[in-house]
């Protein structure tokens, strides 16, 4: 595949300018660049989602022009987007077969093919699972399976390792090598430069919408790539001296959430009627099981776990979007278990959600309206009982400047920003209200190395000022480097404590999958654990 002179303009911004990219058959070609550099736009052009204003695309030596993704798919190109393109109310089989019914139908043959692909590449996806019940990692696996199901020969993977533990990353890379050995080509987009160097055969760097160089992994370091991308060295998330106090900010006692759950304020389902997947279950399956912990002022507590082990349910219970079936939550000494989300937010609970598109932004609304979300009653967004658009607009400009959000203005929609710049806007919004407790779910997912360092610095500054943080992240280096205390969650339970000063990412990754490590201690057992 060869791209020559690709240029794409949008109102007020040139996303791509004279891009050149050559992908050799049977190789992994990495594409790296800072947020807003134009990577996603370039891939959308290649996948037929957008048309270039200038330039040409050639596949197998033949010049092509894609009018839609269907044209790209017909030429053997498949794309796994950073933000998934799945229908939550459909099963895995229905999502995979949708639009490709002519290949294997929608019944037994399709199910057999999906299982064959899943088993071959270790994806562990069940054809009849409902997508809305899947965690982020499983949704990504469905997207990869969907591309392979269509017989793609050129795979575009946009941040494919963002939610994977080290062992899963290694397995994915093994799979990619198997694919390239069969003659397939992979375009690999990632901000994790160490991973890029370990899996790529060739690397292309773009900055501010244009190609600035190519690199051979064996002759390049992560630090050199970072300098090419953003002109600065690769940061590390090392936390300085401890600032942990003895003042408890958040106390969680015996928190339990059952499968299915209910929105806060709604009547819980009878246990026997809950959607558990067990026909004769007398009680619903516990997706969060008797969890207890305390976070103090000035403390970052990290939660490590493979996606789908109760992290989402823990966040929902803490922020107030789901009922806990039992247990208690205290915030600054006050029982907030029955409080609605709005009251929790107004009392000083900040929230960086794990999925910025589904939970953090109104994509078709301007940036200044997105700045108001979650803080509609607070200054500078409100004066008394009334919204204050001018105040919100002025503060949005401040956030854009302070957090280096790359945008032509605050009136553009959130959808027009790159994923990393969307994330910086959310982090800026939440930190602007001086929260006393912050739920930070994957706070640097999809951001470049420069923005990553900036977000880490902001969290550390607030920590020194007394902020209590619950950090949930798939980036194990981030968890280890930022956390004062580190817990492992598995099957909805806190099963082990880790010392961030001694644990390695590999050991932590093993613990997340149920294995043990010499640097881990079993979580303190309560009466129920002793009974078991």
Residue 191's pLDDT band, with cuts at 50, 70 and 90, is confident
pLDDT of residue 270: 41
Strand, coil or helix: 493:
strand
In a domain, 458, yes or no: no
CATH number at residue 66: 3.40.50.300
Crossing angle of helices 108-120 and 136-149, in 10° steps, is 110
Contact of 78 with 156, CB cutoff 8 Å: yes
DSSP string, 143-194: HHHHHHHTT-SEEEEESTTTT--HHHHHHHHHHHHHHHHTT-EEEEE-S-HH
Contact of 19 with 5, CB cutoff 8 Å: yes
pLDDT of residue 114: 92
More confidently predicted of 6 and 138: 6
More confidently predicted of 428 and 263: 428
Contact of 448 with 229, CB cutoff 8 Å: yes
Q: Is the pLDDT of residue 521 over 90?
A: no
pLDDT of residue 136: 66
In a domain, 516, yes or no: no
Percent of the chain with pLDDT over 70: 88
Q: Domain tally for the chain?
A: 1
pLDDT of residue 271: 36
Q: What average pLDDT does the structure give for the chain? A: 85
In a domain, 219, yes or no: yes
pLDDT of residue 106: 87
Residue 182's pLDDT band, with cuts at 50, 70 and 90, is confident
More confidently predicted of 284 and 280: 284
Write out the residue range of the structural domain in which residue 179 sits: 2-229
Residue 486's pLDDT band, with cuts at 50, 70 and 90, is very high
In a domain, 418, yes or no: no
Instruction: Tell me phi and psi for residue 440, to 5 degrees.
Output: -115, 100
Torsion of CA 392, 398, 404, 407, to 10 degrees: 50
Question: Average of pLDDT values for 61-69?
Answer: 92
Contact of 28 with 186, CB cutoff 8 Å: yes
In a domain, 403, yes or no: no
pLDDT of residue 348: 94
Q: For residues 305 and 295, what is the distance between their CA atoms, to the nearest angstrom?
A: 18
In a domain, 169, yes or no: yes
Q: For residues 449 and 34, what is the distance between their CA atoms, to the nearest angstrom?
A: 7
In a domain, 279, yes or no: no
Contact of 324 with 256, CB cutoff 8 Å: yes
- Phi-psi bin for 257: left (phi > 0), alpha (psi -120 to 50), beta? beta
- pLDDT tens-digit series, residues 244-270: 899 999 999 999 998 765 555 444 444
- What's the pTM value of the predicted model, to 2 decimals? 0.70
Residue 526's pLDDT band, with cuts at 50, 70 and 90, is very low
In a domain, 194, yes or no: yes
pLDDT of residue 303: 95
- pLDDT tens-digit series, residues 303-353: 998 877 889 999 999 999 988 999 999 999 999 999 999 999 999 999 999
pLDDT of residue 240: 60
pLDDT of residue 349: 96
Q: For residues 173 and 160, what is the distance between their CA atoms, to the nearest angstrom?
A: 10
Q: Is the pLDDT of residue 435 over 50?
A: yes
- pLDDT tens-digit series, residues 119-134: 877 678 889 999 988 8
More confidently predicted of 499 and 235: 499
* Total residues belonging to the chain: 532
pLDDT of residue 347: 94
More confidently predicted of 153 and 232: 153
């Amino acid at each position: 595949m060869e791209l020559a002179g690709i240029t794409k303009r949008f109102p007020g911004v040139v996303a791509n300018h004279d891009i050149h990219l050559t992908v050799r058959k049977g190789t992994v070609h990495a594409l790296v660049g800072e947020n807003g550099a134009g990577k996603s736009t370039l891939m959308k052009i290649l996948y037929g989602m957008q048309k270039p204003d200038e330039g040409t695309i050639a596949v197998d030596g033949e010049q092509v022009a894609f009018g839609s993704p269907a044209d790209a798919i017909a030429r053997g190109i498949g794309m796994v987007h950073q933000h998934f393109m799945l229908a939550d109310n459909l099963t895995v089989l229905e999502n995979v077969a949708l639009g490709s019914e002519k290949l294997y139908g929608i019944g037994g043959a399709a199910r057999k093919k999906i299982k064959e692909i899943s088993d071959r590449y270790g994806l562990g996806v069940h054809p009849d699972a409902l997508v809305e019940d899947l965690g982020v990692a499983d949704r990504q696996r469905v997207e990869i399976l969907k591309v392979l199901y269509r017989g793609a020969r050129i795979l575009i993977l946009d941040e494919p390792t963002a939610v994977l533990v080290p062992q899963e990353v290694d397995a994915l890379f093994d799979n990619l090598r198997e694919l390239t050995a069969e003659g397939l080509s992979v375009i690999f987009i990632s901000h994790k430069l160490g991973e890029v160097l370990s899996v790529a055969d060739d690397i292309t760097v773009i900055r501010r919408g244009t190609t600035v160089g190519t690199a051979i992994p064996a002759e390049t370091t992560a630090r050199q790539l970072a300098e090419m991308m953003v002109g600065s060295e690769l940061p590390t998330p090392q936390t300085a001296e401890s600032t942990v106090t003895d003042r408890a900010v958040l106390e969680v006692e015996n928190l339990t959430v059952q499968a299915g759950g209910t929105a806060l304020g709604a009547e819980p389902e009878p246990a026997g009627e809950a959607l558990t997947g067990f026909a004769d279950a007398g009680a619903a399956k516990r997706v969060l099981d008797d969890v207890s912990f305390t976070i103090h002022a000035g403390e970052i507590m990290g939660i490590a776990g493979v996606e789908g082990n109760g992290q989402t349910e823990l966040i929902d219970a803490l922020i107030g979007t789901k009922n806990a079936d039992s247990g208690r939550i205290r915030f600054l000494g006050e029982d907030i278990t029955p409080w609605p989300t709005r009251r929790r937010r107004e009392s000083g609970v900040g929230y960086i959600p794990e999925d910025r598109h589904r939970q953090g932004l109104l994509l078709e609304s301007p940036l200044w309206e997105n700045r108001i979300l979650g803080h509609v009653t607070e200054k500078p967004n409100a004066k008394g009982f009334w919204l204050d658009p001018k105040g919100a607009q002025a503060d949005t400009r401040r956030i854009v400047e302070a957090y280096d959000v790359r945008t032509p203005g605050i009136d553009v929609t959130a959808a027009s920003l790159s994923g990393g710049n969307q994330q910086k806007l959310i982090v800026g919004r939440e930190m602007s209200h001086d929260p006393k407790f912050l739920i930070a779910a994957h706070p640097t997912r999809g951001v470049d190395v420069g923005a990553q360092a900036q977000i880490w610095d902001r969290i550390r500054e607030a920590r020194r000022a007394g902020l209590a943080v619950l950090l949930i992240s798939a980036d194990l280096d981030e968890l280890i480097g930022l956390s004062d205390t580190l817990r492992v969650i598995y099957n909805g339970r806190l099963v082990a404590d880790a010392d961030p000063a001694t644990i390695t990412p590999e050991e932590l990754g093993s613990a997340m999958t149920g294995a043990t490590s010499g640097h881990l201690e079993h979580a303190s057992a309560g009466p129920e654990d002793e009974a078991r």
